[in-house]
Structure 1
Amino acid sequence: MLNSELLFYVQGTKKNIFFNVFLRWLALLMNIMISLSVALFLNDLYTGKPPSYGWYFLSVLSFWGIKFLLERRAELFGLQLSEDVKIELRKRFFKKIISIGPSYGQKMSTSKIMQLSGEGIEQLQTYYSGFMPQLFYSISATSTMVLVICFINVKTSIVLLLLSPLIPLVIMIGLKIAKKILGKYWKSYFSLGNIFLDSIQGLTMLKSYDADGKKHNQMNLQAEDFRVKTMKLLRSQLNSINMMDMVAFGGLAAGLVTALYQLKENKVTMLGMDGDTRLLGMFFIILLCYEFFVPLRILGSLFHVAMNGIWASTFIKDFLDAPVNNESNREINHSNHNISIKNMNFSYDDQPFLTNLDMTFPHHKITSIVGKSGCGKSTIANLLIGTVTGYDGSIKRLSIARALLQDPEILIFDEATSNIEEESEEIIMNLIRKISNRKTIIIISHRLSNVLQSDYIYFMANGKVEEEGSHSDLMIAQKDYAALYQYQKDLEQYAK
């Protein structure tokens, strides 16, 4: 359960964990002193000795006050650790996105990144601030109380020492069961997030094609699957907690029974104290046995949090270790903004898609790429801006196209006028033409009416450039471009 790599994920982790555990251990010592004071008070009452009420009250109040301050300070260290983890990991996460560049989506889907940077980091945050400190504290607290009880009765301390590993054993058994459940849980969680984000991003298109109902049903099915996986996870957690409670109370009973048998044999005594201390020692053991299994029970209740944190850290680490784009911060020579594609090939999942492409996009000109859906228009745009990588051939300051800042020299419009009314479309196209004398513009469109005034047009089909030239040149050629243009024109006239 302890992943040593996670100790070095965030700077200052070990220091904050140490102080959290150390202060809680000091608070435990105060609790032991409170238990001793209460045991002394009960012993005085039982033996008939008049107790000093004021002294016992002040001692308990003093120890309790110190304990409160120590636990409060330990809690602040835990909160600081929690905040540091959240802030540092999210900073590293988004710095990694920037360093990879627009192609980060090829390393991990956008929805998965959003889920990990939110829910995933919060799970890891709880792992740091909850489980890890509790693990070290449980070890130190158990060892301390075994040592203290050893000075009262050795056999009782041995019994408690032998029974204390049972809770970690139950944790390990639950861990093996939870691994498969957690794997299915996170897979369903990522799938739901992916469907949700795709639906939101493509909502306009879904409404346009009256496909929102189908997507709604698909999301309902995925949400139901996630609910089922979540309930299985919660059921597993509840069963593990019940098992740990049984072990803890069973261990408590075994410790008390052992102490009672030792009391019967007059082997319970408070070392270093005068007189008959059998009942005093028994009272003290009873109070300590109650505290003995509390840290381990809390540790057990946190182990599912730890599992979630470790699963989240696996995905986070994979992303943080992904190779970066070395060109993302390269200085650009602004003297020439021509873009040229030479002998470029591109595949999706080892299936050839774009084949031997040659294209030129001149500086301060409008160049359009047209064709039917699925011909590769948007893929070329994604390659130019860097959201997709892994091509053969060359794209030549490509880096400029990726640096779309406040006043970019290159503008790529991928279906910029889709799903808007005719008046707004005309306004947008007029603005594009207006800035074309000082910008390099690339238009991706399936509507050929948007590219009539382009300086150059590439007509694509099946991942290849089938025709190229100006609109008039392509119309004169009377090939597929001219046929598609006439078809769209007739369709628009019919719609009017």
Structure 2
Amino acid sequence: MKSLAYLNKYLFKYKWRLLAGILFVGISNLFAIFPVQLIRNAFDVVGDNIPVRRILSGTSLQAPLQEELSWVLLTLAGFILALYFMKGVFLFLVRYTIIVVSRFIEYDLKNEIYQKYQELNLSFYKKNNTGDLMNRISEDVSRVRMYLGPAIMYTINLLVLFVLVISTMLNINVELTLYVLTPLPILSLGIYFVSAIINRTSERVQRQLSVMSTFVQETFAGVRVLKAFGKADLKHEAFKLECEQYKEESLALVKVNAIFMPMMILLIGFSTIMTIFIGGRLAIRGEISMGNIAEFVIYVNMLTWPVASLGWVTSLVQRAAASQERINEFLNSPIEIRNENEETTVVSGHIEFKNVSFRYPNTNFYALKDLSFSVEPGQSIAIMGKTGSGKSSIANLIARLYEVEEGQILIDGKDIKTLNLHDLRKSIGYVPQEVFLFSESIENNISFGLREGEADFLEVQEAARKAHVDDNIRAFPKAYKTAVGERGIALSGGQKQRISIARALIKKPEIMILDDSLSAVDTETEEVIVDNLKGMMKERTTIIISHRVSSVKHCDHILYIEDGSLVEQGSHEELMKLGEAYSSLYHKQLVEEEQGRKSA
């Protein structure tokens, strides 16, 4: 339950709406009490006039008495309808305030979680499954909203109704009230014990739901692999096991509620029987009227749903507590990479690594070891090496997606940690190894790279032309308006890479990073793209990470990395003369290309 205290700041934010809602709850319940008292008066009027009617039976006064009695009852009925109408009006206002507040807080909480997701670094996403992250911002927040809306509303309504009804009942007859309320302490004890069971079961249900979300998300993401390996049936069986586990946990929660609700209804029914039995004896002794018995029966029934809803409200609160605890795990996660400088930073493109060593979180393996090099503004530098040698780690550190453990990275002579983080990343055009396109049009995907405002279509087209993808895009039925991503057409790996390159080019960044971004294109296309990039590379610092020598031999400087350490550096000609690892790789790739031409 402590986890729900996190929401107090939102309740305080909307305190005036909530206070208005509480006021409307009180007024609506007053309009529920007054009709009952009029019903009591109606019963008493009828009861008091029955002996008189018998005495006047067969006389000329009987008809006027009956007419007058009918008029009184019709008047009372009119007042009762008017009061219930007013109750309905204020009940609408109750929902319009308290339930609307829950929707406002749901909106704020989802935005806070999303903002937090944006601020957390990449190691966070490596440790947590996408399905689980989605479940917490959707299903868990929905459960929390049920606490903020219906649970709070029904709890306030119950408290106000109890105060009004019980004070009214005590004012009529203390003995009858005590008898009627006898089952309530038993009900409270039942709620106390059952709520603990509901809480534990709710946590297990939510945990299993996250497991299922992750399972489904991974299945959809890897559906091609599943079909290619013929493992769809195997995965289906595994999913059935997860569903079975979820069903068992959910049924356990249903069983608890199934026992709880009838128990409460039984106790309320017992209160009604006590009202009629004890009330009848008191009426016989003349201590209360018959109208009071009818009044008490209605009061008991008025308490029936609020008291019966205690089990449901308890379940909502316990589920919300379990969900908010899961949400708090992320909201309380430390932000490891912070922007410590709000002043505007202008980046020219000078990069220097000074004895940089780096390990990814939760690993003992050094991705980079005592690495030192520098890049001048407008210079192009290539980083080569085998898979896993640490090439992409350099790109991640320059964009400050991870923090340096040992050593120092300088941008324009300043420690990267002292720069405005937003300005630094805005100055970088990054084409990652794993290409990602949004589920939007090709035009929007390319213009996404712009710093602000909408892209001029000519800019989008020019960027696509430089990335040698303009002709491919025009071949699609809707050209640049063609939707891509999960909901769009299937693009080849090479087309995705080139659209990703265009997205970086349109940004016109001070630092351009191409992380193995030509691996999915053929050699001929690669040469065209490289030629188009040469003019652009003279105007900005360019870092090209690649396995292919043909992609980097034109660069001003080449670094060759092995196991996170720099083993060779120099221009293409200097490294060829050296005759070591770079030269060996170059000759090996030449032989492979020659064999490829012959086989073609």
The TM-score normalised by the length of structure 2 is 0.71
Distance 2:295 2:515 in 1: 77
What residue number does 1:272 align with? none
Q: Does the 8 Å contact 2:353/2:410 carry over to 1?
A: yes
Q: What do the CA deviations read for 1:319-356 (whole angstroms, capped 9, x no partner)? A: 33444444365435436421112222222314132222
Count of residue correspondences: 487
| 1:246-301 deviation per Cα after TM superposition (whole angstroms, max 9, x unaligned) | 222122122123223312432699xxxxx884321111111111121311332422
1:66 lines up with 2:114 in the alignment = no
Contact 2:209 2:246 (8 Å CA) reproduced: no
Native 8 Å contact 2:280 2:293 kept in 1: no
Alignment of 1:201-220 (within 5 A): 213=229, 220=236
Aligned to 1:297: 308
* Unaligned segments of structure 1, at least 5 residues: 270-274
State the one-letter code of the partner of 1:327: N
CA displacement at 1:58 relative to structure 2: 0.9
Q: Report the CA distance shift for 1:211/1:428 in structure 2 as closer, same or farther (over 3 A).
A: farther
Whole-Å Cα distance in 1 between the matches of residues 534 and 215 of structure 2? 37
Are positions 1:358 and 2:372 aligned together? yes
CA distance in 1, matches of 2:184, 2:594: 83
Which deviates more from structure 2 when the two are superposed, residues 9-18 or residues 286-295?
9-18
Amino acid at match of 1:331: E
Partner of 1:391: 405
Alpha-carbon distance change, 192 to 430 in structure 1, aligned in 2, over 3 angstroms:
farther
- Quick check: 1:101–1:386 contact (8 Å CA) kept in 2? no
After superposition, residues 410-449 of structure 1 pair within 5 angstroms as 410-420=511-521, 424-449=525-550
> Which digits, 9 at most, give the CA deviation of each residue in 1:412-459, with x for residues without a partner?
222323444556544443443331111212222333432222222222
Could you tell me which residue of structure 2 aligns to residue 35 of structure 1?
36
Instruction: Give the aligned partner of residue 389 of structure 2.
Output: 375
Matches within 5 A, 1:155-170: 155-167=175-187, 169-170=189-190
> What amino acid does structure 2 have at the position aligned with 1:439?
R
> What secondary structure sits across from 1:465 in the alignment?
strand
Does the C-alpha gap of structure 1 residues 437 and 89 become closer, same or farther in structure 2, counting only changes over 3 Å? same
Q: Distance in 1 between matches of 2:118 and 2:276?
A: 66
C-alpha RMSD over aligned residues: 3.5
Q: Does residue 342 of the first structure (1) align with residue 354 of the second (2)? A: yes
- Which piece of structure 1 moves more, 73-82 or 401-410? 401-410
Q: Which residue of 2 aligns with 1:313?
A: 324
User: Does structure 2 retain, via aligned residues, the 8 Å contact 1:178–1:236?
Assistant: no
Deviates more, 1:59-68 or 1:429-438: 429-438
Asked which structure has the greater CA Rg, the reply is: 2
The equivalent residue for 1:402 is 425
Worse-superposed segment, 392-401 or 57-66: 392-401
What secondary structure is seen at the aligned counterpart in 2 of 1:351? Answer: coil
SS of the residue aligned with 1:151? helix
Normalising by structure 1, what TM-score?
0.84
| Separation (CA, whole Å) in 1 of partners of 2:231 and 2:339 | 39
Match of 1:134, as an amino acid? Y
SS in 1 for 2:339: coil
Counterparts in 2 of 1:77-476, with a 5 A limit? 77-97=97-117, 105=125, 112-167=132-187, 169-194=189-214, 213=229, 220=236, 223-224=239-240, 226-266=242-282, 277-324=288-335, 325-327=337-339, 329-334=341-346, 336-348=348-360, 349-354=362-367, 355-389=369-403, 391-397=405-411, 398=416, 399=421, 401-403=424-426, 404=428, 405=451, 406-420=507-521, 424-476=525-577
- Tell me which amino acid in the other structure corresponds to 2:316: V
Go from structure 1 to structure 2 and tell me whether the alpha carbon gap of 1:482 and 1:391 turns closer, same or farther (over 3 Å shift): same
The alpha-carbon distance between structure 1 residues 305 and 214, as it changes in their structure 2 partners (threshold 3 A), is: farther
Q: Aligned in 2, Cα 1:199/1:63: closer, same or farther, shift over 3 Å?
A: same
> Which fold has the larger relative contact order, with Cα–Cα distance below 8 Å and residues 6 or more apart in sequence?
1
The aligned amino acid for 1:256 is T
1:5 Cα offset (Å): 3.5
Give the whole-Å Cα distance in 2 for the aligned partners of 1:196 and 1:431: 42
2:5: which partner in 1? 4
The question of whether the paired residues in 2 share the 8 Å contact of 1:366 and 1:456 is answered with yes
User: How many percent of aligned residue pairs carry the same amino acid?
Assistant: 18
Q: Which stretch has the larger CA shift, 26-35 or 58-67?
A: 26-35
Report the residue type matching 1:468 in the other structure. Q
Q: Which amino acid aligns with 1:257?
A: I
Contact conserved, 1:199 with 1:215, CA < 8 A, in 2? no
SS at match of 1:344: strand
Q: Which runs of 5+ in 2 are unaligned?
A: 51-68, 429-450, 452-506
**CA drift at 1:489:** 4.2
